[in-house]
Structure 1
């Protein structure tokens, strides 16, 4: 018979872990008190707490990378006409990016305002230089005594008195400028009776335009007629008395347009009103040259015409 093979050696059991030696007491620890001399029993040593084991280090979990979908969303935004709706964060980013258009619009507005201000300053400077060189002055107007003047009051006791009038008015103008001329367009003139209870309008007439050359005299003349103007009995009595004594006062107004010509340069036409109060009647048998002249006021854009000189 064949011999049996030898059995393998049994594994040795693992050795138990050695206990850790207790920590050594510090050198400054209190020594045990000596035994009493009278043979009494020794006191028990003080209880010492075992040393605590050091805390294990806490492990911080690693940061997770952002999901691939969010990364792609920031890199490649969805098309504006896509089927799905863009998130709110994407819309906010688009609004912030679109804010650059507001800056460019404000910049353009600031540039336009700057150019407009510069042009206004240049225009004011040119106007000041032109005024200092030409020294323009407004023309003066005076109303001559009214002629012819025909007033007729009719009516009976049962009806209010009616007035028929024919009044001719003539205003002369003097242009004191040496290089500035004025152009007047066609307009209309009105005549009214001056009375304490209120002016009584008599009628109107067209006025032809004319050109007023420098250092010259020009005239504006028209004849107004009215029929069937009903007045109060007291007013009719006062008008009849003043007309008999040639002391009736009139008010004359002319509305037209005026422009300025300086050499070959001409400006546009602007509205102007001529107001002449206190017109008097010319004496019988005398022309319009006889009698005092009444000064007229000129209103440009409904503002009284004044001179800087």
Structure 2
């Protein structure tokens, strides 16, 4: 009968104890995970700027549409002004008095103007001659209103030497003393049942000449063919005027 050899169940012993059996490596290297990019402040600013521009453009577009609708409905036109008459009741370097009449015309059939009192300033070639005022009034549709005022100055004590020389030189001109009249006020406009806020306007009239006779105390100031009155909006922002 043949003998069988069975393997031993005991673990094998390393015959070389100086070289022990290596243990399995349990260390695992860390997995690389990229850090998410930080949100930059500049990106937020860019987004805010883009939204601001979009809102601003939208408001401008809405304002343009509203203006087109108002224009189609009311056909607005600016008022016009013209010098009807200007007469010196006295003119010398002691005192000057100018009686002034100006016509204001409202060409609109749907717009009413509400004028505050006008301030009037008269000059000649840059030399200030005097000040005056017109009372405020309501300018109805398709209406022409005549405004009258008296412009006066204290005379030579209010003028410097250069201004006096300019006035004396202007009196010697063939066409007479050139005058420039400036009006300034604020106005509100009524369109249907809606009123605007007060807006400043400035009216400048030039092309007016005055022939002053030394032998007469009164003299007329006439407007030649180049006389014009220009109307411009006058807006004051802090210390700046537009």
In the alignment, structure 1 residue 227 sits paired with structure 2 residue 154: yes
In the alignment, structure 1 residue 118 sits paired with structure 2 residue 58: yes
Report deviation, 1:278.
2.5
**1:300 & 1:225 partners in 2: Cα distance?**
26
- Residues 237 and 128 (structure 1 numbering): CA distance in 2 closer, same or farther, change over 3 Å? closer
In the alignment, structure 1 residue 184 sits paired with structure 2 residue 115: yes
Report deviation, 1:236.
6.1
- Residues 114 and 278 (structure 1 numbering): CA distance in 2 closer, same or farther, change over 3 Å? closer
In the alignment, structure 1 residue 128 sits paired with structure 2 residue 96: no
**2:231 & 2:88 partners in 1: Cα distance?**
25
Alignment equivalent of 1:146, drawn from 86, 102, 106:
86
Equivalent position SS for 2:81: strand
**Deviating 4+ runs (over 4 angstroms):** 100-109, 230-242, 280-284, 290-293
Alignment equivalent of 2:192, drawn from 257, 260, 263:
263
Report deviation, 1:299.
1.9
**2:41 & 2:170 partners in 1: Cα distance?**
75
Indicate conservation of the 8 Å contact 1:169/1:252, yes or no: no
Indicate conservation of the 8 Å contact 2:205/2:230, yes or no: yes
User: Which is worse superposed, 124-133 or 114-123?
Assistant: 114-123
**2:180 & 2:119 partners in 1: Cα distance?**
14
- Residues 240 and 269 (structure 1 numbering): CA distance in 2 closer, same or farther, change over 3 Å? same
Report deviation, 1:210.
2.0
Indicate conservation of the 8 Å contact 1:145/1:279, yes or no: no
Aligned length: 203
**2:169 & 2:73 partners in 1: Cα distance?**
54
- Residues 103 and 202 (structure 1 numbering): CA distance in 2 closer, same or farther, change over 3 Å? closer
Structure 1 unmatched runs, 5+: 1-60, 75-88, 154-162, 303-309
Report deviation, 1:151.
0.8
Instruction: Summarize deviations over 1:270-299 as a string: whole Å, max 9, x none.
Output: 222111113345999x9x9x9657431112
Report deviation, 1:239.
5.9
Alignment equivalent of 1:300, drawn from 222, 233, 241:
233
- Residues 110 and 167 (structure 1 numbering): CA distance in 2 closer, same or farther, change over 3 Å? same
Computed over aligned residues only, the root mean square deviation of the Cα atoms, in angstroms, reads 4.1
- Residues 169 and 62 (structure 1 numbering): CA distance in 2 closer, same or farther, change over 3 Å? farther
Alignment equivalent of 1:137, drawn from 77, 80, 96:
77
Report deviation, 1:107.
4.7
In the alignment, structure 1 residue 253 sits paired with structure 2 residue 216: no
Report deviation, 1:64.
2.9
**1:107 & 1:151 partners in 2: Cα distance?**
68
Report deviation, 1:146.
0.8
Indicate conservation of the 8 Å contact 2:85/2:102, yes or no: no
Counterpart for residue 204 of structure 1 = 131
Report deviation, 1:63.
7.8
Instruction: Please say which structure displays the higher CA radius of gyration.
Output: 1
Report deviation, 1:250.
2.0
**1:134 & 1:118 partners in 2: Cα distance?**
24
**TM-score for both structures, normalised by structure 2:** 0.65
Instruction: Summarize deviations over 1:164-218 as a string: whole Å, max 9, x none.
Output: 21112221111111101222223411112x3xxx332112123332221110012
